[in-house]
């Protein structure tokens, strides 16, 4: 499994920090309908533990360090988001877990759809059965 990593463009100003940006449909393979972010989590916290039926997202960490574990039902891999210019595309039917490596790390997400609780698969066995069924098609 080769998760898609994108380099988020950055403009540094001497002694004044840096500004990073991306543009939907130019830098991302989809249009953005929703942005959300997760903050205030202590080190060691694990979130996620689900997959999506349709949702596609870009994950990035503008501050701190968060380990993203991905599982497509056949293979597992990990991506460390520890650089504000590193973005990870997470496709649908991908089980994900996010583990906070550093207190107060911020996880930002740009999503291609509005929030829909029915799009989640929150049971791992159901996820495995669903992807196995898709692979048989």
Query: Encoding tokens for residue 96?
Result: 């994900």
If the CB atoms of residues 18 and 37 are measured against ligand T46, the closer one turns out to be 37
Using CB under 6 A as the criterion, what x/- string covers residues 21-60 for binding ligand T46? -------------x-x-x--------xx--------x---
If the CB atoms of residues 18 and 103 are measured against ligand T46, the closer one turns out to be 103
If the CB atoms of residues 22 and 92 are measured against ligand T46, the closer one turns out to be 92
87 contacts: CB under 8 Å, gap ≥ 6: 5, 6, 7, 8, 22, 58, 59, 60
If the CB atoms of residues 28 and 98 are measured against ligand T46, the closer one turns out to be 98
Q: How far is the CB of 40 from ligand T46 (least distance, A)?
A: 12
Backbone angles phi, psi at 121, to 5 degrees: -110, 110
Burial group, residue 6, by CB count within 10 angstroms (0-12, 13-18, 19+): middle
Binding of ligand T46 by 115 (CB under 6 A) = yes
- Selected from 99, 108, 109, 110, the binder of ligand T46 by CB under 6 A is 109
Active-site residue flag, 50: yes
DSSP 92-123: SS-EEEEEESSTT-EEEEEESS---GGGEE--
Taking the CA atoms of residue 43, residue 49, residue 55 and residue 59 in that order, the dihedral angle to the nearest 10 degrees is 20
| Residues acting as catalytic residues | 50
Residues that bind ligand T46 (CB under 6 A): 34, 36, 38, 47-48, 57, 96, 98, 109, 115
């Amino acid at each position: 499994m080769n998760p898609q990593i994108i380099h988020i463009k950055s403009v540094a100003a001497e002694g004044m920090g840096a500004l990073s940006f991306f543009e939907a449909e130019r830098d991302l393979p989809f249009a953005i309908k929703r942005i959300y972010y997760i903050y205030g989590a202590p080190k060691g916290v694990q979130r996620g533990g689900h997959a999506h039926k349709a949702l596609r997202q870009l994950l990035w960490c503008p501050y701190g360090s968060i380990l993203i574990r991905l599982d497509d039902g056949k293979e597992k891999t990990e991506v460390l988001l520890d650089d504000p210019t590193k973005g990870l595309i997470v496709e649908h039917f991908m089980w994900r877990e996010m583990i906070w490596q550093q207190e107060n790390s911020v996880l930002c997400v740009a999503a291609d759809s509005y929030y829909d609780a029915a799009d989640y698969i929150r049971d791992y066995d159901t996820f495995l059965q669903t992807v196995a069924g898709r692979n048989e098609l």
